[in-house]
A = this chain, B = another copy of it.
Amino acid sequence: MFLFLYERIDVLLLCDSVFEIKIDDARYWRDCIGSIATLVDEGTFNISKEGITLKAMDPSGISMVSFSIPNKAFSKYEVDKQAAVGVSIENFNKILSSARNSEQLSMKDSGNKLAIEFIGENSRRRYKLPMIEVKKEADKEPKIEFESQVELKSDPFKEVLKDATSLSNLIGFKTEKDNFKISAKGDAAELEEEHAGNTDFVKKMSVSKPSAATFNLEYLDRIVRTCPQGNTVQLSIKTEEPIKIDYKIGEASLSYYLAPYMLEN
């Protein structure tokens, strides 16, 4: 049984302000939204003078993403007053996947639509994405006092997740002083990996208390897959509590929470 992170709450879309935002590399913004879209099909961007944030749950309710990017990541950032822009993340992602090399991107509100413009040297593509009322909101992150922190290199971690996927749909993490264990058990075979700290894979570890928990492998794989190549992924673990997965995409911060898998009694 998966624990639900939150009760589902209906929230109203509020949007009575004006903003105009520009980013120099449309593909960078595509990657950011792609990392949200891996879990979430709709969500509300909170656009304030400081930057843009989004907190959203996946449709099944076992995971959430908390995204934030500061205003300095944009080449133009004009926000008259705080706006809440709910959109289909799936459709936003589709539009952004058309970003071409060396295109700029502009976003502004236009009635009840988000006007998106790709600005190339000789062409302009304009998309309009309807704003929607997002039903499942996740307005706060779970408060957990994590027992262990493990910093992993993203590329070998992706390979481990891929290996485990062929055997099982669950993955277990276990931390001990200077020792990080990954296990996956399937009908076909069992996998167990043991890693010391300070290696090519585990960059850093800090364990205040040994901890162990098991997670849905497909979700974890989707979360980590969009971490840029060569980056690090930070895992925060507490026994039988949700895991927190953090990484950066340039200036943007992504934090994911994934509920633990609990054996039914």
Contact = CB atoms under 8 A, between A and B. Distances in A.
Interface stretch (A65-73, A193-201, A208-216, A232-240): A193-201
A195 B199 CA distance: 53
A162 B97 CA distance: 10
A159 interface: yes
Contacts of A100: 159
B189 A95 contact: yes
Contacts of A129: 188-189
Interface residues of A, number: 36
A194 B217 CA distance: 45
A122 interface: yes
Contacts of A16: none
A126 B167 CA distance: 13
A171 to B, nearest CB: 13
Given A97-B166, A166-B98, A189 B125 contact: no
Interface string A177-202: 00000000000111111111001110
A127 interface: yes
Contacts of A121: 200
